[in-house]
Amino acid sequence: MLKRGSSSTSVRCQNCEQDRDRGQECTLFCVSILSRLMKVEDSLIGALAAASRIAACFFFAFAPDRRWFYVGPVVNIFSHAGLPALRSIATKKVSSSEIAQLSSLMSVSEAFAPSVYMPASNSIYAATIADFPGAFYMFDASLTLLALLLFWSIYALKLRERKNTVTDPAKKEEFARSNEITYL
């Protein structure tokens, strides 16, 4: 139960502020520890971010009382690492002369996305507030599921690329004659 004079909106706003602060700390952790020291693939960091976001959406959507709204940001802590991971993946795949164009395209899409997402989320919230007020969190989780699938696909492609890369010069000739491409 909410105390008199407070609302679930104020709880959500407090959680958003806490989430932003923790997000900066998490991004610093993911970049410095996971990426640089532990050499974790960027796609796995992105998948961790998406999974964290999806889990937090479930916490928020099905929160039975106010305390669950304080647990949600803890679960959501890794979600802010997704965008830097995506930028890292994208900049590694383009030539150095096209990085500026890619960065501007990503910035425009980041600025444009809320103008599509917010009205859709608001209309879902307005339509479902009487029956299931957490439905817009499920909408967010379904969109994030697409990102999770994208990051897993990128990781699977990276594993396949690593498997097909020969690092031993003595085996390069053997691999060139026996890989699946030469059979085509």
Q: Which is higher by pLDDT, 99 or 24?
A: 99
pLDDT surpassing 50 at residue 2: no
pLDDT surpassing 50 at residue 101: yes
121 touches 139 (CB < 8 A): yes
Cα distances (angstroms) measured from residue 26 to each of 17, 30, 56, 82, 125: 14, 6, 15, 11, 29
pLDDT digits (tens, 9 = 90+) for 112-165: 999 999 999 999 999 999 999 899 999 999 999 999 999 999 999 999 888 877
For 176, residues 6+ apart whose C-beta sits below 8 A from its C-beta are: 182
Amino acid type, 128? T
Which residue is associated with the tokens 């897993």? 152
Whether 102 is in a domain gets the answer yes
Counted domains in the chain: 1
pLDDT at 84: 87
Whether 117 is in a domain gets the answer yes
Whether 184 is in a domain gets the answer no
Whether 82 is in a domain gets the answer yes
For residues 46-57, average pLDDT: 94
- pTM of the entire predicted model: 0.76
pLDDT at 74: 84
Whether 3 is in a domain gets the answer no
Whether 128 is in a domain gets the answer yes
Whether 2 is in a domain gets the answer no
Domain membership of residue 85 as a residue range: 8-178
pLDDT surpassing 60 at residue 61: yes
The number of residues making up the chain comes to 184
Whether 1 is in a domain gets the answer no
Number of Cα atoms under 13 Å in the Cβ half of residue 104: 4
